[in-house]
Amino acid sequence: MFKVCVTGAAGRVAQCFIPLLCNGSIFPDKKIILSLLDLNNEPQLKEVNGLKLELTDCNYDNLISISTHTDPNEAFKDCDLIVFIGGFPRKPGMERKDLLKINSKIFTEQGLALKNAKEDVKCLVVANPCNTNAKILYEVCKKNGLKVKKENISSLSRLDQDRAEAIYRQTYNKEDKDKKVNIFIWGNHSSSLFIDTIDEEINKNIENNEEFLKKIQNRGAEIIKAKGSSSTFSAANAARNHLKDWCYGNEKIVSMGIVSEGDYTVTKGLVCSFPIKCKGNWNFEVVKGINLNEGKKARIKKCVEELESEASEIVV
């Protein structure tokens, strides 16, 4: 049995993610005990109760039971995995960091509630600003002596990687869609993120290509502008890819926001996206020895400065 809590269960991203979780497309070999958390407000309560009925009717083979909660302490009880999707969503004209004040209270409370989860609980933060929200979880655990390991706290940058690879394919591999593309993300899930690769041909096309970089940096805002609300199923799909690779491993380099150990001069303790090798069984390591020229180092430094400035605003 594998107990998973999804926060913000009434929201659109969660409702795209939960079917992927229950239909075996993330964890085909796990039987899921699902815990749904959202606010104790009329609209959310109604939505979550309706969701529970519909999930039952889907008759998923892998879904054992569903419980609904408004208190994170109850929702997180004995969880193996928590997917933090709940938070105030970004509106047109806002940067993700504008959500920091609104969402940091939620993350401080939920960080404390991690004491009810299993000691080796895995955490994925999707709600923005996801890197710094994940850092709040890390800091709350540290301050309160919780046993959650820092390797078990991660934030979503896979959406940026998936976007970069898809748009690269569309732009450069028009004729040969099967050609392998591997691009990874450094830094923050924000408009300062930096894209990189170890593939020489791809590097020729993307290094110093400001137009391509800006496209990826601003893709979230482009979607908000196009449809009036932030991305939903692409975010859910990226969370699926992140979790699948984290759990089972992947040959390619993937991007994950993790608590920095100081690699590549990223300040220790920041949650920053790195190139990652997932080795299976929830083990991963930062890919070492990536050659960074002065231009690339300067880009990463900019990301770190932004993460530091966000971190300076949090109080746990």
Q: Could you give the 3-state DSSP secondary structure of residue 263?
A: helix
End-to-end CA distance of the chain: 33
- Compare residues 235 and 258 and give the one whose CB is closer to ligand LMR: 235
Q: How many CA atoms lie within 13 A of 25 on its CB side?
A: 13
Q: What are φ and ψ of residue 122, in 5° steps?
A: -100, 140
- Provide the pairing of β-strand 271-280 with 254-259: antiparallel
Residue with tokens 């979880």: 137
Q: Please state the length of the chain.
A: 316
Residue with tokens 């004729």: 175
- Compare residues 197 and 231 and give the one whose CB is closer to ligand LMR: 231
229 in Cβ contact with 12 (< 8 Å): yes
For the question of residue 189 being annotated catalytic, the response is yes
* C-alpha closest to that of 154 among 39, 287, 286: 286
Residue with tokens 């984290």: 246
CA distance 156 to 300: 17
Residue with tokens 């050609």: 179
146 in Cβ contact with 139 (< 8 Å): no
What is the smallest separation between the CB atom of 268 and ligand LMR, expressed in angstroms? 25
| For helices 294-311 and 130-143, angle between their N-to-C axes, nearest 10 degrees | 60
* C-alpha closest to that of 220 among 251, 253, 185, 268: 185
Catalytic residue among 189, 219, 240, 299: 189
Q: Which residues bind ligand LMR (CB under 6 A)?
A: 90, 96, 128, 159, 220, 223, 230-231, 235
Residues 6+ apart with CB under 8 A from 50: none
What is the smallest separation between the CB atom of 262 and ligand LMR, expressed in angstroms? 26
The catalytic residues are 189
